[in-house]
Amino acid sequence: MLPLPLRLDIVNHSPIGFAWGYSGSGPAQLAVAILADWMGCDHAARALHQRFKAAAIACLPEKHWSLTDDDLVRIFETMRKERPWLDRLAVLEDGPTVQIVDRYAEHRGEFVTLVAIVPHDHSETNDEAVVSLQDGSQLSLYRDQVSVAMLHVRG
Lowest mean pLDDT among 6-15, 61-70, 118-127: 118-127
> pLDDT category, 100, cuts 50, 70, 90?
confident
Q: What is the pLDDT of residue 65?
A: 95
pLDDT digits (tens, 9 = 90+) for 2-56: 899 999 999 999 999 999 999 999 999 999 999 999 998 998 999 999 999 999 9
Between 109 and 71, name the one with better pLDDT.
71
78, 51 Cβ separation under 8 angstroms? no
pLDDT surpassing 80 at residue 150 = no
* Dihedral of alpha carbons 11, 71, 89, 53, sign: negative
The model's pTM is: 0.79
pLDDT digits (tens, 9 = 90+) for 20-33: 999 999 999 999 99
